[in-house]
Amino acid sequence: MKKNKIITTEDILLKLCQSVSKVLTSATASNVTYSAMVQKITKTSLKPDFGCFVLFDGGFSGLVVINFTSKAALELYTSYMRNMGMPEEELAVLHTSDEVGDVLGELMNQLVGDFTNKVRKELQTNITQNQPKMLSLNKQVILSVDTNLDRPQARRVTFSTQNNNIFYLELAMDKTEFIQLEEFDIDDEETPDSIFEQTQQSMSQSKSTKSAENESLAGSNDLLDELGI
C-alpha cells in the first residue's frame, strides 16, 4: 500500500460492500451487486421483512445491519441451497421459515468474517464479531440497536440480487481514520470460492463417514444374524 495513505469511514464501508458482494455472489452462484452511491443516515434500524445484525469490536467498534425484503431473502436462500445441491422439493417456500433464517445467518457470518479478515490484512488491526442475530419482522416494527459509539457515523448502501430484488446494508461505526506510516505487503486473501469448496468437501466427508458407519453397522448385524445372536 502507498505510504501515508489515509483510510476513512467510506473506505472501510467499501471494503465491507466488496465482502458482501463477493461472498454472496460466490455462495449463491448468482450476481449480487451494490450501488455506487452511499447514503448518510442518522441511525441504523432493523426493518421488514427480515433483519440481520452483527456487532464488532477491537481496533474500532461498529454494527452491521442487513435488511432483506421477503423476495430477496428467499432468492438468496434458494440460490444458496441449490448451489449446495439441495433438491427443489426440500426447499422452504416462506421467508419466515427457520431454514431461511439459518442460511442468512450463516451467510452473514461468512461475509463479516471476510470483512474482518480484510481489516486485519489491509488496515493492520484486529476486530472481532459476535454471532449474527436474525429477526423476521412485521411491517409495523422497526428496531434500533444501541452500539454505544462515541462519535457515530452511519451509512446505508443498496444491494441488488440477480433477479433485481433489493436489500440494504447499514454500517454504524466510530468516526476514525487509518494513516499508513510505513510500506507493507498484503498477504493473499482466502477467496469465497475456496471457502465454498472447503464447505462442500467437509459436507462430502461427513456424508462418507455416515455411510461408512451405516455399512459397518449393517455388516455387524449380518454377522450377528449368522451367529444366531
- Least confident range from 55-59, 116-120, 221-225: namely 221-225
Residue 208: how many other CB atoms lie within 10 Å: 10
**Is pLDDT above 80 for 120?**
yes
Name the pairing type of β-strands 166-174 and 62-68.
antiparallel
Mean pLDDT for the stretch of residues 42-71? 90
Mean pLDDT for the stretch of residues 131-141? 79
pTM of the full predicted structure? Answer: 0.77
Q: Which residues contact 161 (CB under 8 A, 6 or more apart)?
A: 30, 31, 32, 72, 75, 76, 167
Q: Would you state the pLDDT for residue 174?
A: 87
Who wins on pLDDT, 203 or 31?
Answer: 31
Q: Would you state the pLDDT for residue 103?
A: 92
Cell (9 digits) for 170: 447499514
Taking the C-alpha atoms of residue 211 and residue 227, their distance in angstroms, rounded to an integer, is 25
Predicted confidence (pLDDT) per residue in 190-228, tens digit? 555 555 565 556 556 655 665 655 565 555 556 456 555
| Cβ atoms of 151 and 86 closer than 8 Å | no
Taking the C-alpha atoms of residue 23 and residue 25, their distance in angstroms, rounded to an integer, is 6
**Is pLDDT above 70 for 147?**
no
Mean pLDDT for the stretch of residues 101-118? 93
Mean pLDDT for the stretch of residues 21-47? 94
Predicted confidence (pLDDT) per residue in 180-191, tens digit? 888 777 666 555
- Whether the CA torsion 155, 172, 59, 135 is positive or negative: it is negative
Q: Which helix (H) or strand (E) holds 99?
A: helix 98-122
Q: Would you state the pLDDT for residue 70?
A: 92
Mean pLDDT for the stretch of residues 122-133? 90
Cis peptide before 114 (omega within 30 of 0): no
Task: Return the C-alpha torsion angle 89, 91, 97, 98, nearest 10.
Answer: 120
